[in-house]
Amino acid sequence: MNGGGEERAATPLDWKFSQVFGERTAGEEVQEVDIISAIEFDRTGDHLATGDRGGRVVLFERTDARENGAQRIDLERMDYTMSKHPEFRYKTEFQSHEPEFDYLKSLEIEEKINKIRWCQTANGALFLLSTNDKTIKFWKVREKKVKKLSEMNVDQSKSLSNGPVVDNTPEISKPYLANGVCKDKGFPSNDISIPSGCFPSLRMPVVVTSLETSLLARCRRVYAHAHDYHINSISNNSDGETFISADDLRINLWNLEISSQSFNIVDVKPTNMEDLTEVITSAEFHPTHCNTLAYSSSKGSIRLIDLRQSALCDNHSKLFEEQEAPGSRSFFTEIIASISDIKFAKNGRHMLSRDYMTLKLWDINMDSGPVASYQVHEYLRPKLCDLYENDSIFDKFECCLSGDGARVATGSYSNLFRVFGCSEGSTEATTLEASKNPMRRQVQTPSRPARSLGNLPRVLRRGADNSGADANGNGFDFTTKLLHLAWHPTENSLACAASNSLYMYYA
């Protein structure tokens, strides 16, 4: 898989810190509602959206794109490299979801944003989907020109507060209209003066449109009451008209224009719930084939389905899973095999999956096994019992691919994230910590398999560990974890969510 990036992959990228939004000060306590729970670039990469556990969606926009675009045009025949890092700025935010209560099931529904997906833009407005556990919303964000009243502009030379009109002209020399109002050439045509001189002249207010604009977020549609279990995925179709939503047992197909009904296209719920052996963990449409989608399961398998085969896709067209090594099965085997996230490459031929221990790259034309595997948490294998007891083993880490398909990335503990080269022959494996401190910028590892954190400099590890230490006595910090990250669609730029902070890196 080179995707045009094989030549660049020969030399590992030099990642640099770009900017941070919402970084904590020393000793500052993070509120639960401020923790970022979803992150997504739009198709152009000029906009970035994050969702948090408080149900808010925050939008950022690229500020240097126009300048860099001009440089690309001027130097289109040269090997152009950006002289400065990409810059984003805060654009707006809105409350997407509120906490709810299901009275029929006596169940609290959190406002936490599980996923955000951008839709096609139209007439300069931005559109996106956001979802919590039960309800999906379709949002339109657009700029609106501000209208305001002009000043009253009372003529201070002829009026003073509520006092009499100041005028030395003899009363007898003033021309009056039929209604008794004085018509003096020195007065504006819309002034009204009382001959008795008791009130100041008045001027009617005028509504004007100023050059200022404000951003207005409006919920266009609400897609609700279609899932009995928690929604874990939403994904737009390449046709621009439909999208899917997936929970533990079902996948529904929606039309963006119709919120009153959806079609159930996948149903893995058994007749007897005691026979349930696996659940759906993630689902995504193919980037170019509108009839194809993939979904992963808690057993570590990925199923490719074709919507043209039948209305209810009970049968998959392809099954991707890796066979277990003989004698390797244990109590934790199924838990760590559960896939937490899948992503299609931009070219549509490859898929990336993340389970607790590894990243796997799949070729959709080869269902015999992954074409590449990358060890992310192999150093944690001796501590699976501790991870199970503190529930860390159930953490759901996301993954992403670069636009050219040459690299993949995922997160880890202690706010670390890892970048691997996936071009043929690449040994690139870089570990970075999401931190503003440039001393914690990055560490290059010489080979593809993950190295123990004990072999990395101490500066890459922050915080005390409450769960033990590795063989070198260095602590693992399971309380800080980098679950959510996104790769810019056209550049080597990463957005990483560490707690309530959004870190940007570029190479």
User: What is residue 383's three-state secondary structure?
Assistant: helix
What mean pLDDT value characterizes the chain? 81
Q: Which residue(s) pair with 350 in the sheet?
A: 363
Cβ partners under 8 Å of residue 181, min gap 6 = 192, 193, 194, 195
Q: Exposure of 13 by Cβ count < 10 A (0-12 exposed, 13-18 middle, 19+ buried)?
A: buried
- 353 in Cβ contact with 362 (< 8 Å): yes
Q: Is the pLDDT of residue 246 over 90?
A: yes
The answer to whether the beta carbons of residues 216 and 141 sit under 8 Å apart is yes
User: Please, where in the chain does CATH 2.130.10.10 lie?
Assistant: 6-148+211-506
Alpha helices in 57-105 (DSSP H): 65-74
What count of residues does the chain have? 507
Low-confidence winner among 119-128, 175-184, 365-374, 423-432 (lowest mean pLDDT): 175-184
Instruction: Mean pLDDT check: name the lowest of 79-88, 92-101, 165-174, 420-429.
Output: 165-174
d(CA 317, CA 366): 12
What integer pLDDT is reported at residue 324 of this predicted model? 77
391: which residues sit within 8 A by CB, 6+ positions away? Answer: none
- Inter-residue contact 57 to 130 (CB < 8 Å): yes
Segment 194-205 shows an average pLDDT of 57
Closest CA to 95 of 47, 58, 50: 58
Residue 235 has pLDDT above 70, yes or no: yes
- Confidence at 323, pLDDT banded by 50, 70, 90: confident
91 or 77: whose pLDDT is higher? 91
Per-residue pLDDT at 157 = 53
Provide the token pair at 7: 């030549």
Q: Which pLDDT tens digit goes with each residue over 64-79? A: 865 544 444 333 333 3
pLDDT tops 60 at residue 1: no
d(CA 62, CA 45): 8
The dihedral formed by the CA atoms of 129, 132, 136 and 140, expressed in degrees to the nearest 10: -40
Q: Which amino acid is at 99?
A: P
266: left (phi over 0), alpha (psi -120 to 50) or beta: beta
Q: How far is residue 288's CA from residue 222's CA, in Å, rounded to a whole number?
A: 26
pLDDT of res. 257? 96
Strand order in the sheet with 242-246: 233-236, 242-246, 250-255, 258-267
331-373 pLDDT, tens digit each: 899 999 999 999 999 999 999 999 999 999 999 999 899 999 9
Burial of 16 (0-12, 13-18, 19+ CB in 10 A): middle
- What is the spatial distance between Cα 454 and Cα 471, in angstroms, rounded to a whole number? 7
**Cα–Cα distance, 71 to 75 (Å, whole number):** 6
* Domain topology for 6-148+211-506: Methylamine Dehydrogenase; Chain H (2.130.10)
Has residue 58 got a pLDDT over 90?
yes
Q: Which are the contacts of 65, defined by CB distance < 8 A and separation ≥ 6?
A: 46, 86
Percent of the chain with pLDDT over 70: 73
From 6-10, 28-32, 333-337, 371-375, the region with the lowest mean pLDDT: 6-10
Task: With a cut of 60, say whether residue 161 has pLDDT above it.
Answer: no
CA atoms within 13 A on the CB side of 10: 4
Contact 314, 268 (CB under 8 A): no
Q: What is the pLDDT of residue 220?
A: 96
Question: CA 136 → CA 49, 237, 420, distances in Å?
Answer: 16, 16, 33
Spatial distance between the Cα atoms of 491 and 452, rounded to a whole number of angstroms = 29
Lowest-pLDDT choice from 43-52, 207-216, 260-269, 338-347: 207-216
422, 486, 447: which is closest to 49 by C-alpha?
A: 486
- Residues linked to residue 407 through DSSP beta bridges, in sequence order: 421
CA distance 246 to 230: 8
